[in-house]
Structure 1
Amino acid sequence: MAETIDDVIDVLSGIVSDARRDADRVGYFAALYRQVTVEIRAGIRDGLFDDGPRMDRFDAVFGNRYFDARDAWRRERGGPRCWREAFGLLADPDAVIVQHLLLGVSAHINLDLAVTAARIAPGEEIHGLRRDFLLINDILARVLLAVQRAVGEVSPYLWLLDEFGGRTDERLLDFSIRRSRQEAWHNAVLLAGQGEAEREVTAGLLDVRAGVLARLVARPGGLVRPALALIRSGEEDDVPKVIAHLDRAMAAAG
């Protein structure tokens, strides 16, 4: 279990390394997540946040929710609904890279973020967390821009999603994430004001909603399905190569 942000980065680095060795698509989201976490750590060290030690604890609790969900899936195909959708798609050779990224990002933001914020800052303390919570949007935007470019280099037909009526990776990885983080803040305030039993019920409802959103990403309908098939036909098939490419996104942008 991670106790600091350094621990989170170490565990994520291990997941990325193992995924490259095993050609495991879990490394796609892990590579994105590792880079976001590295940028947050840099922000803490540079004094970006009002309360750096609190953000260090926040990141550890947040990271452990991902690690716990991954462990539950590997043990018994268990864990939160939204994470089961994400991990369940890893073995699907027809899924496109951006689906794996979106499923991980969606589960972590639409469920884990609010739960973590309420745990770190319960009750009235939650209001003092708001500025630091929202600062993460800027870090996410910077990392996601780099990752979008990296995805486009290994998935050259991704623009077809826009042509066929779906949202492009840029819109989905920017606007939707910002909107989801806004909703996560409102949910965090709600959870922070609840008792333990009520909080557990609310978290379960958030997971149901996040699971529905995940299914829409994992198994879209309409014209998006043939678009995804065309996108997949042009994608790089070498999983370790894709992981390594995504994991270098920030350095390449640098």
Structure 2
Amino acid sequence: MAQIAHCLTVAPVAHRMREFRSAWPATDGLAVFNAVYLAVTEEIGRRIEAGDFPDRGAAATLDVRFAERYLTVVDAVADGGRAPACWRPLFQYRRHPGVRPLQFALAGINAHIGHDLALAVVDTCRVLGCEPADLEDEFDRVGDVLTDLEEHIRDELLPGPDLLEVADPLLHLLGCWSLERARDGAWLAARSLWQLARLPELAEEFTERLDRSVGLVGRMLLTPLAPRG
């Protein structure tokens, strides 16, 4: 597998995210997620180059296919299209004054992991001619990077002591969502979609329902709490 994807790097997708960072104001909810995702992508790129992944080519392919799904949504919306249901809440609420930065970050992570990651695993298997089980190590290590950064994200974006009246309901809201459960769900969805490849109508229905269910969680995460000061 590595020889097929050896030439792939995460540099081009990271470059696109830096362009978004330059174009969007820091207060834009999508910009908040983009900053988090750029940090994740850069860290994965460093670990791939350092040889931390068992198969560098497979890891690069998975990461690029994963990132491309986010970039495609941004481009489609910029061209006047409609975002998938999983991403729609973030695009709709990206400028809402009552939504806190941490909510934006986690809503984007929810959409990207809960929906896009499963499809990216399937895309990668088709490109590399392998089974999802062959990518499990790469999948787990990408998830480990996200887990390593999650605590940092929460510490950095959680309101300070002067906003405790906001932090209380925010902590309650965020306690309803788990990165670990989202990762587990993405892996199960990827394996299910792979098995449904011979049943395209059922696979399409499964994908649509996954999209809508992840979107519902995203809408919950973006519940407005209080105007920003």
Q: TM-score, normalized by length of structure 1?
A: 0.76
1:156-206 per-position Cα deviation (integer Å, ceiling 9, x unaligned): 15655674485375x56xx70111101110111111122272432221111
> How many Å separate the matches in 1 of 2:102 and 2:209?
26
Aligned to 2:21: 16
Q: How is 1:28-177 mapped onto 2 (pairs within 5 angstroms)?
A: 28-122=32-126, 125-152=131-158, 155-157=159-161, 160=165, 163-164=168-169, 166-167=171-172, 171=175, 176-177=178-179
Aligned to 1:192: 194
> How many Å separate the matches in 1 of 2:97 and 2:207?
32
1:114-169 per-position Cα deviation (integer Å, ceiling 9, x unaligned): 011112125861111112211223211222222222213xx215655674485375
Which runs of 5 or more structure 1 residues have no equivalent in the other structure? 220-224, 235-254
Tell me if structure 2 keeps the 8 A contact 1:161–1:168. no
Q: Report the more deviating stretch, 76-85 or 122-131.
A: 122-131
> How many Å separate the matches in 2 of 1:211 and 1:25?
16
> How many Å separate the matches in 2 of 1:109 and 1:125?
19
> How many Å separate the matches in 2 of 1:67 and 1:215?
21
Which runs of 5 or more structure 2 residues have no equivalent in the other structure? 1-7
Aligned to 1:204: 208
Q: TM-score, normalized by length of structure 2?
A: 0.84
Aligned to 1:5: 10
- Cα RMSD between the aligned structures? 2.5
Q: CA deviation at 1:18?
A: 1.3
Q: Figure out how many residues of one structure are paired with residues of the other and give that number.
A: 217
Q: Report the more deviating stretch, 50-59 or 105-114.
A: 50-59
Distance 1:159 1:145, change over 3 A: farther
Aligned to 1:182: 184
AA aligned to 2:185 is: E
> How many Å separate the matches in 1 of 2:170 and 2:91?
26
> How many Å separate the matches in 2 of 1:96 and 1:113?
25
> How many Å separate the matches in 2 of 1:26 and 1:164?
22
Tell me if structure 1 keeps the 8 A contact 2:33–2:109. yes
Aligned to 1:237: none
AA aligned to 1:193 is: Q
Distance 1:160 1:191, change over 3 A: farther
Tell me if structure 2 keeps the 8 A contact 1:12–1:30. yes
AA aligned to 2:141 is: L
> How many Å separate the matches in 1 of 2:87 and 2:46?
28
Q: CA deviation at 1:23?
A: 5.6
Q: CA deviation at 1:40?
A: 0.7
